[in-house]
Amino acid sequence: MRGFVFGLITASALVLAADKSSSGPDEVSLPENYQDEFLNYLDVDHLDRKRVRKMYVNREAHAAAVAGEDLPDGTLLIMEDHDATTDADGNLVWGDDGRLIALDAITNIFVMEKNAAWTTANGHWDYAWYLPDGSPRPDASFDGCFSCHANRADRDFTFTYWKFVSDRKR
Ligand code: HEC
pLDDT in tens, 81-114: 999 999 999 999 999 999 999 999 999 999 999 9
The answer as to whether 2 is a domain residue is no
Ligand 1 atom, smallest distance to 140 CA: 38
The answer as to whether 9 is a domain residue is no
Q: Among 2, 71, 110, which is best to mutate for testing ligand 1, by the most ligand atoms less than 8 A from CB?
A: 110
Q: What is the pLDDT of residue 105?
A: 98
The answer as to whether 120 is a domain residue is yes
The answer as to whether 132 is a domain residue is yes
The answer as to whether 6 is a domain residue is no
Residue 84 is given by DSSP the state B
Q: What is the pLDDT of residue 4?
A: 43
> Which residues, other chains included, contact 159 with Cβ-Cβ below 8 Å and sequence gap of 6+?
149, 152
Domain that holds residue 154: 21-169
CB-based burial, 28-61: b 16+ in 10 Å, e otherwise? beeeeebeeebeebeeebeeeeebbbbbbbbeeb
The answer as to whether 15 is a domain residue is no
Distance (Å) from CA 127 to ligand 1 centroid: 10
Ligand 1 atom, smallest distance to 157 CA: 26
CA 29 to chain centre: 10
Q: What is the pLDDT of residue 3?
A: 42
79 CB less than 6 Å from ligand 1?
yes
d(CA 84, CA 80): 12
Q: What is the pLDDT of residue 21?
A: 61
User: Of 110, 112, 111, 126, whose CA–CA distance to 21 is shortest?
Assistant: 126
Reported as a pLDDT band with limits 50, 70 and 90, residue 169 is confident
Q: What is the pLDDT of residue 18?
A: 39
- Report pLDDT digits (tens) over 97-156: 999 999 999 999 999 999 999 999 999 999 999 999 999 999 999 999 999 999 999 999
Ligand 1 atom, smallest distance to 152 CA: 26
Q: What is the pLDDT of residue 168?
A: 87
Q: Into how many domains does the chain fold? A: 1
| pTM exceeding 0.85 | yes
Element (H, E) at 168: helix 161-169
Q: What is the CATH number of the domain that holds 118?
A: 3.50.70.20
Distance (Å) from CA 148 to ligand 1 centroid: 8
- For residues 73 and 124, is the Cβ–Cβ distance under 8 A? yes
The answer as to whether 109 is a domain residue is yes
- Report pLDDT digits (tens) over 12-42: 443 344 344 668 888 998 999 999 999 999 9
148 CB less than 6 Å from ligand 1?
yes
The answer as to whether 10 is a domain residue is no
- For residues 52 and 43, is the Cβ–Cβ distance under 8 A? yes
